[in-house]
Amino acid sequence: MGRTHVDERNEGAWLEAITLFQSVRDADHDAAARLLRTSSDPEAVMLNLLRMLGVYLRGEAPDKLDHFIAASHRAGPPPNPRPPLPPPT
């Protein structure tokens, strides 16, 4: 049986979620935001990213996650990064 448009779209959203995860891991938040803005199905990409995170977090110790959540509540959102410097001329 051949692949359908829906299968290809689901695979595309999955690959975009992996790329999004990699961008966040590399602290390239601008690339992650661009990916979501240009995605043909940003909701599916985010759902896949959340599924990936769920699998990843199951491997972490519960007390480590609780500590991270508590620290995040105390710290609040991180400041926006400064814009990148222009390239040297």
On the 0-12 / 13-18 / 19+ scale of CB atoms within 10 A, 36 is middle
- pLDDT reported for residue 5: 59
Residue 80 has pLDDT above 80, yes or no: no
Residue 1 has pLDDT above 60, yes or no: no
H-only helix segments in 1-89: 5-25, 29-38, 42-58, 62-75
**Using CA atoms, how far apart are residues 75 and 46, in angstroms rounded to an integer?**
25
More confident residue, 87 or 32: 32
Residue 50 has pLDDT above 60, yes or no: yes
pLDDT category, 79, cuts 50, 70, 90?
A: confident
Q: Count Cα neighbours of 78 within 13 Å in the Cβ-side half-sphere.
A: 6
- pLDDT reported for residue 82: 66
